[in-house]
Structure 1
Amino acid sequence: MNPTTARWLRWLLTAAIVAFLIVFARTIDWTAAWRSIRDASPLLLLAAVVLNFLTAAVKGVRWWLFLKPAGSPSLALAMRATIAGSGLNNVLVANGGEAARVLFVSRATGIPSATVLATVALERLFDPVGFVVLLAYGGLAFSLPPSLDRWRAPAVGLLVVIAALLVWFVYSARNVTPDSVWEVTGTPKGSWGKVKAYFSRFAMSTRSLTSTPRFIGALIISMLAWIGQILTFELAAAAAHVSIPVAGSLAALLATNLGLVVRATPGNVGFFQFIYALTAGQFGVARNDAIAVSLLIQTIQILPVTLIGVALAPEFIFKRSAGRGRVEGIAPD
């Protein structure tokens, strides 16, 4: 398929989804939905905001597991950069916050950006891994809607494959040392040589930072983050005085994250509400109530982290850059 055709198909798909969302929006009693939001419990909303922020912050701890052996021992730096990156992700296109946090930490520590990028790649790897674990467990432990339950067997099979790949990755990287990075990259010559050296450094840094304890720690933290999101969904529903079982919040979390594969609108606003209402409705939640809860959830997830993240960004932008050309060292566990 040529690029022009692909672009037109993407625009047509987006237009079709937006048109569908407009039709869906016309079925909502917005007066009742806004009334539910207006009457929401401030205390429970505050608890949901704090929990969601802690969920974002704990991902900074997960990143620190890989940053520390790469030469950045500051947990505070990892957490601040993570929050700043998460906030910028909500205002920049194409997850630009991820590139920003690589730049932030590289400038602050002097660690080569290819190495910092390797730590981000390893850290982000455990988001989808944790999601697959949650999907497999949810399908086995709870009665989920048929649309999600059909993914139970594939999720279990995929989990086995992921576990095997992670074991192989750790095993294949057992003899890689920090010196291997410099042996592969050497001194680059010319533009192409620099590009090749950058990606070689990235690949070797990824393997140098691989270890069983770090992977286990990252997986545990990922599961804590996902559990935090389930509890955030629960608190948002409770704040709006909407009764939904834990299985319903789990199903809504899984469904909305599967729906995020297609970003039809900025922040998936509208699409998130549709998926949440569709899923929560299968647990006896009225559509108007589900819309109110979904709007609260998105506000909780986006607004506080964005405000704090954008406020933190100037600290990194105007921070004096650390010395370049330092030799990285991968510390043992």
Structure 2
Amino acid sequence: MQRKQDQLQGLSDRFHAGQMALQPEQRVLDDMESGMLVAASLPKRPAGWKTLLNLPSFRIVAGLVIGLGLLLLVARYVNVSIAVGIVRSHLTTPQGIIYALLSSLAFLAAFSIRGVRWKLFLNQVGKVSTLKAIQLFLVGVFLNFLLPIRGGEVAKSLMLKRISNIPVSQSLPTVAIDKALDLVPALFIMAIVPLFGINMDIKIWVVLGMVGLLLLCLIGFVGVAAWKRLAAIGLLQKITGVLPKRVGSKIEGFAINFVDALLAGASRPKVFIPAVLLTIVAVFFDGLFALLAFWTVGVPVSLELAIFGYTLFNMFYILPTPPGQVGSNEVFGLLVFSGLLRLDPHGVTAMFLFSHPWAALLQTIVGVGCLSTLGLTIASAMKMQSDNEKENNHA
């Protein structure tokens, strides 16, 4: 009996010894498991290049580099010194100065009318004075000019929340409706441009054919969306599915927001019809600004051509532009007025060499003045925009 007890005791001792030998390995496994759990609970850091791309300073520098590249492209196409000479010879005359001053009035009137139009939609979500709506709109235009991305639209809603306590979720749809109305006349004007009597070559007919097809597709999509929205979205997803995912998602989002904005506006005809009329008046003043800017540098153009060309030129603002629109204005202006409408490239370049800095000066003076009147600064407005971008990135 004693011998069996000794054997059992020996087995027990060897078992406990084996357990003790396994404990360090088990502790290692436990430590590894806990470490993996801790690592999984920590927020993932974005990749280094993504962090760099999200820095506002990097975007500004990258945008300026792209803008300078566009200016070099312009310099290879036209003799910039000749264009500068045209500006200098006409802007120093009394007639040139008068045209320049009148162009500034037309420029500010076009955006102020759009501010009144935005007020029509804002009336549905809160009480905002007409003057304040115009000021916020002009600040948004200034920020769109200043920032490397079109951030002025969201900034309007953020500033409106701060000064009038209107939630962004309520005011942002009004911004979408307002911007949608700016695209409709551009498509319509290009569709009826043959009635303007403009001499058109094969390039313009190709562009008009593409725009006409786009207009028909857009009208069809709006009609289907008004009838069966889900079916329209499904059809759009099939069409954009052949594109790269990132590009297709952006086109899909733009089209859906555009159509939703139009349908929401059209559902209130008492607001939508006056808004359309104000859009027509704003487009007229856009063309008047372009007309007077051309006359300032001694380039004779008709009002019809100025309206058509500048409306087409404004469509390029759908795309992101460099800070201050450096280079992009000149390139897009040459594409439209020289490439399509066959105006002298030196005269077109002279017009934008005058109108670009002149419009920048006007936007800066008026934008900073409106910010001051609203009790804001450039820094605070840009900080609100930056904070909004951070919230979107975390979301």
Is TM (by shorter chain) over 0.5? yes
Are residues 1:22 and 2:79 paired?
A: no
Q: Aligned pair in 2 of structure 1 residues 34, 107: CA closer, same or farther (>3 Å)?
A: same
Q: Aligned pair in 2 of structure 1 residues 35, 145: CA closer, same or farther (>3 Å)?
A: farther
What residue number does 2:171 align with?
116
What residue number does 1:78 align with?
133
TM-aligned CA deviation for residue 114 of structure 1: 0.8
What residue number does 1:53 align with?
108
Cα shift readout 1:58-116 (whole Å, capped 9, x = no counterpart): 11111111100112242222111111211222222312222221112122222211111
SS, match of residue 146 in structure 2? coil
1:292 to 345, 350, 359: 350
Give distance in 2, aligned partners of 1:53 and 1:16: 30
Cα shift readout 1:216-252 (whole Å, capped 9, x = no counterpart): 3332222222221111111112232321233432453
Are residues 1:90 and 2:145 paired?
A: yes
Give distance in 2, aligned partners of 1:260 and 1:233: 16
2:368 to 300, 304, 310: 310
What residue number does 2:215 align with?
159
Residue pairs, 1:1-333, within 5 angstroms: 17-26=70-79, 28-29=81-82, 30-39=84-93, 41-143=96-198, 144-166=200-222, 211-213=267-269, 214-260=271-317, 265-277=322-334, 279-281=336-338, 285-318=343-376
Give distance in 1, aligned partners of 2:368 and 2:154: 14
C-alpha contact 1:104 1:317 (8 A) present in aligned 2: no
Give distance in 1, aligned partners of 2:330 and 2:222: 35
Q: Aligned pair in 2 of structure 1 residues 286, 44: CA closer, same or farther (>3 Å)?
A: same
What residue number does 1:183 align with?
none
TM-aligned CA deviation for residue 23 of structure 1: 1.9
Aligned residue identity for 1:226: V
C-alpha contact 2:128 2:164 (8 A) present in aligned 1: no
TM-aligned CA deviation for residue 133 of structure 1: 1.3
Give distance in 2, aligned partners of 1:285 and 1:309: 32
Cα shift readout 1:140-166 (whole Å, capped 9, x = no counterpart): 433245433323233334334444555
SS, match of residue 69 in structure 1? coil
Q: Aligned pair in 2 of structure 1 residues 64, 258: CA closer, same or farther (>3 Å)?
A: closer
TM-aligned CA deviation for residue 48 of structure 1: 1.1
C-alpha contact 1:60 1:82 (8 A) present in aligned 2: yes
TM-aligned CA deviation for residue 132 of structure 1: 0.8
Structure showing greater Rg: 2
Structure 2's unaligned 5+ residue stretches are 1-47, 54-61, 230-256, 378-395
Aligned residue identity for 1:43: I
SS, match of residue 132 in structure 2? helix
Aligned residue identity for 1:31: G
Aligned residue identity for 2:303: V
Cα shift readout 1:184-240 (whole Å, capped 9, x = no counterpart): xxxxxxxxxxxxxxxxxx9xx968766241333332222222221111111112232
Aligned residue identity for 1:305: Q
Choose between structure 1 and 2: higher helix proportion: 2
Structure 1's unaligned 5+ residue stretches are 174-201, 320-333
Give distance in 2, aligned partners of 1:13 and 1:109: 38
Q: Aligned pair in 2 of structure 1 residues 19, 261: CA closer, same or farther (>3 Å)?
A: farther
Aligned residue identity for 2:310: L
TM-aligned CA deviation for residue 32 of structure 1: 3.6
